[in-house]
Structure 1
Amino acid sequence: MCDLLDVTFYKVTNSTFFHNVIKDKNKRLSIHKIKDQDGNWVEGTTQVATAAVNYFSNLFKAEDIDENNDIFNVIDRVVTREDNISLTSPPSIQELKDVVFSIDPDSAPGPDGLSGKFYQSAWPIIASDVHAAINSFFQGATLPKFFTHTCIVMLPKVNFPQDFSDIRPISLCNTSSKILAKVINSRFSGILPRIISQNQSGFVKGRAITENILLAQEIVNNINKPNVGAIHPPKGIFDLIETYLTKFFWSGNEEGGKYHWISWDNLSYPYREGGSNFRKLEDIYKAFTAKQWWKFRTSNSLWVNFLKAKYCINDHPTTIQWKPGQSHSWKAMLKIRSEVDSKIWWRVREGNVDFWFDNWTKQGPLWSLMEDVIVDQHISIREVYRQSQWDWNVLHPYPSEQIKDLIRKYTISLNNNTKDVPFWTETESGTFSISSAWNLLRQKRLFAPIDAKLWHKDVPYKMSCVAWRAIHCRMPTDDKVAKKFKINFVSKCFCCIGAGMKTGMETAEHLFCSGHFAQLLWSSF
């Protein structure tokens, strides 16, 4: 990444330095000597190339196995005829356009040298040709070799690789091949969740390996074994890590040694609130816990079903209280539940939303509007809204006039074929994001207009940091050093030494505002 940033920064000028950077990079990435698969050193381009081909050919060679397809006779058929038609039908130009513009324009091209940027820039000209080429494949044509050709690039995993296990091969395919693969992939994405069982987390959008880890924790906790703390570490771990981060920020190494002029707590605020845009680990942890709660409330997975069966068999998730002996994961989720669940709004479709305890009117759960009344009824909207009318009599307790007036203003139309849709109200799109959850759950400070203007992408971070420290009087000036370390000494500003200059005590205000040198600079603006 650092190399990429360096190249991006200097390539604009097409300078000698830029070309030297490229030459140095190519020199470092060249392999002149390496061990073959037998452990013998080989040198020279031809010998290294032969050894590489032999090693990776042997590594990726398919094994001969006896196939028995009888097992497929006992597997339920889940791919319908309609699914097959959807998978194999020729794509439209619009579908291809969506795929083309989803490709990273700066990704490395294949053997033909045409990157995603070319396809996107020339799309009005080449659209019909690309459409015809892709459609020919879906109509049964064999892909020509130039279409499927790739460049095999070997990337070192370490500096100065000794053998081929220190190298990772990647395949750079033509963008035309990427387009075809992405079309097929996007079509498969809607079918894979039905084909792949719920306990498999990988390669399925919306599933996460962390859910399987959390499920394992719940099972371990169920059998009274010591719970795993990797997902939910104690606060002391956060404090220890932040101590090392603070030392590194002020000293450049983990041993520290330099005075911390600003605490990590004060550093960990956004620029606009007077901080340096770091984030407290505990706030990040809360944000990821909020994501777990969001998934628990809005998705259907093995982990979610297990938690509901374990903790919510007779109660709504928003009313459950934590009990001793329950898992740390569940306890952490309940701690942030009230703040997070209040930001989940349900758009009613099939009507399985809980009438009393889910927020479907945008006014919060309706039970909270019932004064001095205990609500313990769990009933879905479809059980109350029948034949396009509200049946108030099935509700216990009977709703107040305030609630009935609120509901009458709410337009509802049940559709048995469409699931109720959850919206995350902290984002415009309604999609949950870690950053919005972090902003919701973190401690906030008032807007600091001056601080917000100090930081800019075109100003080096170090310069902004110095200005920020100066404004907050957190510089090692004489007055601060004397006060912090109880040292008595004569202070004078070295910027004011000269004929006719009146020296003053070295303070941030004197250095940057009232001092002779500062006044001279400010007079130029």
Structure 2
Amino acid sequence: MIGEARERSSNKNQKNKTIVRKNQKISKMEEGIREVILDYFSNIFSSVEPSDRDLEWVLRTVQPRVTEEMNQRLIQPYSHDEKYWHIVGADVVRCVLDFLNYRNFHPRLNHTFIVLIPKCTTPESVAQFRPISLCNIVYKLASKAIANRVKHFLDSIISPSQSAFVPNRLITDNVLVAFEIHHFLKHKKWGKVGLASLKLDMSKAYDRIEWKFLERVLDSEATKEAFRCIKEILSKYEKASGQFINLQKSSVNFSGNTDPTLQLELAQSLGVAVTSNHAKYLGLPACIGRSKKEIFQDLRDRICKKIFGGAAQMKRKSTGYLGPNSVKASKVEGRYFARGSIFEARLGFNPSSTWRSIWRTIPLVKAGCRWRVGDGSNIQIWRDQWLPRSYSFRPIQMQNCSLWNAKVETLIDNDLHCWKEDLIDRTFVPDDASLIKALPLARHGVQDVLVWHYAKNGLFSVRSAYYVQRNFQKRSNNVSDPSSSSESRTTWNFLWNCKVPNKIKIFIWRLCNNALPIAPNLIRRGVEMDPSCPFCQSHTEDLEHIFLNCTFARQVWALSEIPCCSVFNWLGLAQNWIRFLYDNLDEGQFRLGIALMWKLWYERNKLVMENQSPNSLNVVVGAKSTTIAYQEANSEQSSLSRPNVNPCWMPPALGSLKVNFDAAIFKTQVGAGLSAVIRNEQGQCLRWETKFVKHVTDPLHAEALAARMAIDMASDFPGRTIEVEGDCLVIISDINKRDCNHSYFGPIIKDICILLDHYTNVTVKFSRRSANKVAHALARRAVEVNGSNFAPDTLNIILQRDMEPNE
């Protein structure tokens, strides 16, 4: 593996000194190569000057998607209270804000350096390079600020058929749709009407765009015969947008019942080739046959090349969500479970490979899904999974219990928007009753939704499902996790927080999981090699021998001067030995010990791969220098570190009001304290309120309730501009993103968003705890204070302190 990595590294460093022109002539001189590149990209970046007629023909199909409300939020003035502005300096902030608010931007700040990135291993022509622009940092700050505003509306603006680069959508949705289409075409052998799929490749899609077309789009307020129509559409689209179809990479695929002569005629009319199946779509095979291993071998090889020394199994993947309204979900639903839920779907007749894969995971997804209560109209009390706990999502049935066929809405008082506590206490066991009474309820009509219990945002992720599946397997096999005991967790936590390079931590993790490529492990996988220890050649190589019993290893430990090295014992497993080191060495000795093991392994690999004889003293010196250098590098104080200044409360703008809110959890009383206080520009308290809510023990739930109470208070001052501030960044972010997600406290966020839609003069901002002292103090006293009954003198003292600068 080391040899492969060295070879790959040397390949990357090779320079290409020739390039092929359009006329197939080869340019070798530097001047000639420069000329070819300039000509090529000058052509791409030049306008083809589309006519107004072509533009109108294309733009008449573009429908307005940005609503007036979205537009008002997008054009709000930008403020300077952004993260780390004290680091970048007032001049940079002023420059960016001048551009964002007044469109004053120096032309030189828009200049970029274009860098060519090869798209293949040995590029020969300019077309095989991908240009990227290295922008000025000030330009990037301004564009990022605009992008942060626009991204909240992308889901509403961009068509559902576009799955890439939009939150909560995955580009793989389109891959799965393509799989289903090709599976259908492949198996359609009968019928009079043939079908076809057309794959189009845009030539330099991201680089070739007409600004005239783009500006008109942004400012816009407004079958067989299809083959000729398709070509006309594509032709006019090319003229209007400046983008071109790469016919050499495009192809058309027909169903089996299409006449071959007709296939050829239609393909010639489009100018593309006929193919039995589109080989790849978005980097994945478009059609899966019987040999899945052969189909995905290329993908597997590419992944293995990226991961040097890694296992073939990928243990972590990106978060993904296949929503019920996604393109893929609608296609799969119509094909396989049109009349029911996916949880009751059957494999069906002639299923595609993708549906087989999805269908096999349904039991796992079902086991991790539960209902989040909205209005309770869709949830059966005893049959459905809806309680948020780890072992069972269904309530425990009591003997002689009632409400057999009732729904959860029976337990909700719709007039007061709260739970019927007396009915719940009579119907459920105490633990279940406490869980139910703690569930958040919305004031407005929020529907019940299925959520993934094992993610905080309620959305399914491959990563969380992987761990759920592992836990299910361990329970069924009665296997305990070697790192699940309290002692092991302590050791692992200490290791991951240990002040050594990450490569040493990962090495120790691989050692404890027997994942190092020692001779026995490689021989077991079919690799022919000498099983002897590379150091002494007198003993079979194993972990205990390499790191403890080998003559060379003993020399290293003796030179290290680590105490009690003479009584080291492997104790059966590597993790037991790591535990032994943890129990018997101080922190510095433990760091040196694991660094010595890493260095021993490093010298072993140098001996095997490069035939370099090891030296025990060099091992000890190298391990010590590695740990010392890491400590010194991490102990240096950065000159850009954040100043140790805690901001105090700042009054709102003249004529405006500010509401601060906070929440506190009381474990003994099993509830939460909420508070909100509203002040004017002089810091005078106009109104304040505290409230104790029973059963609420989740901090984010409590903060969301406090935010809703603060916005209710703001609504009592109509016509005034009001700033609402809180010190919970999660809640503030969800409110500003209008992210009514599937989280536990999602119904409260939905209520807040509805309130804000009615009060356009209310803004919500984040503040630090040091600038939120009054609300914090009131929340901490919510148990002893009823409503707004609070000693005036005490309140005035807290108000005064809130405006004093913090040390």
Task: Give the TM-score normalised by the residue count of structure 2.
Answer: 0.41
Deviation at 1:174, TM superposition (A): 0.5
Per the alignment, residue 116 of structure 1 pairs with none
Find the counterpart in structure 2 of residue 65 from structure 1.
Answer: 50
- In 2 relative to 1, CA 417–36 (structure 1 residues): closer, same or farther, beyond 3 Å? farther
Distance 2:396 2:173 in 1: 31
Aligned to 1:447: 482
Q: Distance in 2 between matches of 1:206 and 1:75?
A: 24
Question: Is the alpha carbon distance of 1:223 and 1:466 closer, same or farther for their aligned partners in structure 2, counting shifts above 3 Å?
Answer: closer
- Conservation of the 8 A alpha-carbon contact between 2:418 and 2:441: no
| Identity between Structure 1 and Structure 2 (%) | 21
**Aligned residue runs from structure 1 range 201-212, under 5 A:** 201-212=163-174
Q: Deviations over 1:406-456 (max 9, x none)?
A: 675344423436566765443456554433322322456631669978998
Q: Measure the CA separation in 1 of the matches of 2:74 and 2:337.
A: 39
Q: How far apart are residue 223 of structure 1 and its match?
A: 7.9
- How much does 1:473 deviate? 9.2
2:237 is the alignment partner of 1:237 = no
Q: Are 2:444 and 1:416 aligned?
A: yes
Question: For 1:365 and 1:466, how far apart are their aligned partners in 2?
Answer: 38
Q: 1:92 aligns with which of 36, 55, 79?
A: 79
SS in 2 for 1:168: strand
Partner of 1:258: none
> Which letter does structure 1 place at the counterpart of 2:442?
L
Q: Which runs of 5+ in 1 are unaligned?
A: 7-20, 98-119, 254-275, 393-398, 486-490, 497-503
Structure-1 separation of matches of 2:80 and 2:28: 51
Q: Distance in 1 between matches of 2:163 and 2:547?
A: 57
Relative to structure 1, is the Cα distance of residues 315 and 466 closer, same or farther in structure 2, using a 3 angstrom cutoff?
closer
Q: Is 1:278 the counterpart of 2:286 in the alignment?
A: no
The Cα shift of 1:317 comes to: 3.5
Q: In the alignment, does 2:40 pair up with 1:55?
A: yes
1:78 aligned residue (65, 72, 90) = 65
Matches within 5 A, 1:350-389: 354-355=379-380, 359-363=385-389, 364-366=392-394, 381=409, 386-387=414-415, 388=417
The 5-angstrom pairing of residues 250-399 of structure 1 reads 278=311, 280=313, 295-296=321-322, 298-312=323-337, 314-349=339-374, 354-355=379-380, 359-363=385-389, 364-366=392-394, 381=409, 386-387=414-415, 388=417
Q: Any residues of structure 2 matched to 1:93-112 within 5 Å, and which? A: 93-94=80-81, 96-97=82-83
- The answer for unaligned runs of 5 or more in structure 2 is 189-254, 256-276, 278-284, 475-479, 563-807
Q: Which amino acid aligns with 1:209?
A: I
1:180, 1:492 → 2: CA distance?
59
Question: Is the CA contact 1:355–1:366 (under 8 Å) kept in the aligned structure 2?
Answer: no
The one-letter code matched in structure 2 to 1:435 is R
Which residue in 1 is equivalent to 2:141?
179
The CA deviation at 1:165 is: 2.3
**Partner amino acid, structure 2, of 1:165:** A
Partner of 2:502: 457
Question: 1:170 aligns to what SS in structure 2?
Answer: strand
Give the match for residue 106 of structure 2. Answer: 144
Partner of 2:187, secondary structure, is coil
The answer as to 2:129 corresponding to 1:167 is yes
Cα distance change, pair 129–383 in 1 and its aligned pair in 2 (3 A): farther
Which TM-score applies when normalising by structure 1? 0.59
Tell me, in whole angstroms, the C-alpha distance in 2 between the residues paired with 1:162 and 1:136: 45
Match for residue 11 of structure 1?
none
Question: How far apart are the structure 2 equivalents of 1:185 and 1:519?
Answer: 59
Match of 1:104 in 2: none
The structure-2 alpha-carbon separation of the partners of 1:514 and 1:425, relative to structure 1 and needing over 3 Å to count, comes to same
**3-state SS in 1 of match to 2:152:** coil
Higher mean C-alpha deviation, range 351-360 or range 363-372? 363-372
Q: 1:74 to 1:160 in 2, by over 3 A?
A: closer
Question: Cα–Cα, structure 1 residues 406 and 82, in superposed 2: closer, same or farther, change >3 Å?
Answer: same
What secondary structure sits across from 1:191 in the alignment?
helix
Instruction: Report the more deviating stretch, 185-194 or 303-312.
Output: 303-312
Deviation per residue, 1:335-361 (Å, 9 max, x gap) = 322333333454434656534565432
Distance 2:311 2:13 in 1: 37
Q: Is the 8 A contact 2:116 2:129 kept in 1?
A: yes
1:259 is aligned to none
Preserved CA contact (<8 Å) 2:510 2:516: no
Residue 176 of structure 2: SS of its match in structure 1? helix
In structure 2, what residue type is equivalent to 1:301?
Answer: S
Q: Deviations over 1:34-71 (max 9, x none)?
A: 44444444455444333322221112322232234377
Paired residue for 2:465?
437
Give runs of aligned pairs for residues 18-57 of structure 1, distance below 5 A: 28-29=14-15, 33-42=18-27, 44-57=29-42
The alpha carbon displacement at 1:146 in A equals 0.8
> Structure 1 CA distance, aligned partners of 2:94 and 2:534?
76
Contact 1:349 1:415 in 2 (8 A): no
Contact 2:113 2:135 in 1 (8 A): yes
Distance of 2:182 and 2:30 partners within structure 1 = 55
**Whole-Å Cα distance in 2 between the matches of residues 47 and 277 of structure 1?**
43
Residue 371 and residue 302 in structure 1: after superposition, are their counterparts in 2 closer, same or farther (change >3 A)? farther
Asked if the contact 2:80/2:97 (under 8 Å) is kept, the reply is no
Instruction: Tell me which residue corresponds to 2:94.
Output: 132
**Partner letter of residue 361 of structure 1?**
L
Deviation at 1:173, TM superposition (A): 0.9
